[in-house]
Amino acid sequence: MPDFSFKVTGYDPFSRARTGIISTPHGKIETPGFIPVGTQATVKSLTPKELKGLGIPMFFVNTYHIYLRPGTDVIARFGGLHKFMGWDAPVITDSGGFQVFSLNRKKYVNTAISEFAVLDREKFTRNGTLKGRSDGVFPDDYRPVGELVRIDRDGVSFTSHWDGTEHRFTPEISMSVQNILGSDIMIAFDECAPYPTTREYSAAAVGRTHSWLTRSIAAWEKNNVRRKNKPYQALYGVVQGSTFKDQRIESAKFVSAAHTDGIAIGGVSVGESKKEMENVLSWCMPNLPEDKPRHLLGVGEIDDIFTLVRHGIDTFDCVQPTRLARMGHLFVNNQIIKSNNQKQKWTIDINKTEYKYDTKPLDRRCSCYTCRNFSRSYLHHLFRVRELLAYRLATIHNLCFVTRLLAEIRKAISRGSLGQLERAWLKSQ
């Protein structure tokens, strides 16, 4: 079985952008590459077959969610996520830490919100808190989960958002769980500090992250020996440090020096502005080795993509394309937006009445199944009457849009025309 490797195949002469190929036991990923999120072992509404048809090379599964449901004992029966999900291409899992620390930021979580955010959107803010319910009265299916995360030097204890049971993650546990999941790329256990945070708290979290990285590597190496007849699992260390330049640089250097297959940048998705994201990347990236792939965790809104690529990010995962799709916010180029008098960038809201009679495809130049077969009017109808097909057709389109953009970016880098593509892309903003 092939091990993990990364080969840089080209550089943009005017930025840190580069093309490359990540090889894993389950297949290759061309970089820069967008990695959709399949939180609960499914990219919401789509089959593996459709994902392959869209050119999705790998997807991201959240260890925390799988650990709780269906549980690692279920995944163990299948020998890993690939067989469980019916997906034979690469899979990346996180350490579980990010979701655990996120619990601290959500006062109330609906057990169904992650699946049906679109249904509940009038009741919820985008990060899962209930709107306008300061009276303290919550329906039965919302349970308090805030402040139920206890961090110590060794790891973190937390309460399940499903059933209130108590659990604990440490670097060793996270590695064992990811070993059972059998992902091609694992992420070391780290602490993602909340945003905003103090310099002091962030420094302490960076300290824990580095000590946990050392322990993650030790556990991973030990497990690799035991797993020797199973497919190799790569490990990425995580750079933290919030928005503090010195901490980010220190963390980038520490993680670069560690013995891992790749490097992830964490803590950029938790609330910083676009400007702060660019700052963080400009501090971290020059301090990372050229020969390891770099993954940006949880970032990749449509208007971030050129920025992160220019800074030398190779892969990034983001829920935005699929989540916006389920809300009816569909990616189109700016000419289409202008002709429809909409003000958003990159997306039109298909729920709007102006699409009721619109017999045109969403984007006549798009070759996705949705655009080849259906009109804006039909999509508008499906969203207005909340038909299940709506979420599918929208997800197919948004994923097609992003993967096509990344393919164009790879081609432009190899031709030295990335700047040109970006200007053309942003022109009509």
- The torsion region of residue 130 among left (phi > 0), alpha (psi -120 to 50) and beta comes to beta
Choosing from 94, 184, 261, 314, which is the catalytic residue?
Answer: 94
Residues 12-71 that bind its own copies (CB under 8 A): 40-42, 44-49, 65, 69-70
174 assigned binding-site residue: no
Q: Is 88 a catalytic residue?
A: no
Question: Dihedrals φ, ψ of 88, to 5°?
Answer: -100, 5
First vs last C-alpha separation in the chain? 47
CB of 285 to its own copies, least distance (A): 36
Binding mask 81-100 for its own copies (x = CB under 8 A): ---xxx--------------
Cβ atoms within 10 Å, residue 229: 6
41 or 238: CB nearest its own copies: 41
CB of 120 to its own copies, least distance (A): 10
Binding mask 107-126 for its own copies (x = CB under 8 A): -----x--xx--x-------
Assigned token pair, 361:
């495809």
Q: Examine residue 73 and tell whether it contacts its own copies (CB under 8 A).
A: yes
Segment contacting its own copies by CB under 8 A, of 55-63, 76-84, 182-190, 264-272: 76-84
Residues 386-415 that bind its own copies (CB under 8 A): 386-389, 391-393
Near its own copies by CB under 8 A: residue from 373, 411, 427, 428: 373
CB of 60 to its own copies, least distance (A): 15
CA distance 388 to 379: 11
Distances (CA, A) of 388 to 105, 107, 382: 30, 29, 8
CA distance 57 to 37: 12
CB of 141 to its own copies, least distance (A): 10
Near its own copies by CB under 8 A: residue from 28, 227, 292, 384: 384
Instruction: Decide if 75 contacts 84 (C-beta within 8 A).
Output: yes
368 assigned binding-site residue: yes
Pairing assessment for the beta strands 18-24 and 5-11 based on DSSP bridges: antiparallel
CB of 399 to its own copies, least distance (A): 14
Q: Examine residue 374 and tell whether it contacts its own copies (CB under 8 A).
A: yes
Q: Is 317 a catalytic residue?
A: yes
Q: Examine residue 163 and tell whether it contacts its own copies (CB under 8 A).
A: no
73 assigned binding-site residue: no
CB of 403 to its own copies, least distance (A): 19
Residues 310-339 that bind its own copies (CB under 8 A): none
- The strand order across the sheet containing 5-11 reads 5-11, 18-24, 27-31
267 assigned binding-site residue: yes
Near its own copies by CB under 8 A: residue from 310, 380, 397, 410: 380
232 or 374: CB nearest its own copies: 374
The set of residues, in sequence order, having a beta carbon less than 8 Å from that of 402 and lying 6+ positions away, is 34, 300, 302, 305, 321, 331
- The strand order across the sheet containing 315-317 reads 33-35, 315-317, 294-296, 262-265, 234-239, 185-187, 91-93, 59-61
Assigned token pair, 322:
């699929």
How many residues bind its own copies, per CB under 8 A?
A: 44
Q: Examine residue 375 and tell whether it contacts its own copies (CB under 8 A).
A: yes
Choosing from 12, 304, 317, 363, which is the catalytic residue?
Answer: 317
Residues 344-363 that bind its own copies (CB under 8 A): 356-357, 359
417 assigned binding-site residue: no
Residues lying near its own copies in the complex (CB under 8 A) are found at 40-42, 44-49, 65, 69-70, 73-74, 77-78, 84-86, 112, 115-116, 119, 356-357, 359, 369, 373-375, 377-378, 380-382, 384-389, 391-393
Residues catalogued as catalytic = 94, 317
Q: Residues within the annotated binding site for Zn(2+)?
A: 366, 368, 371, 397
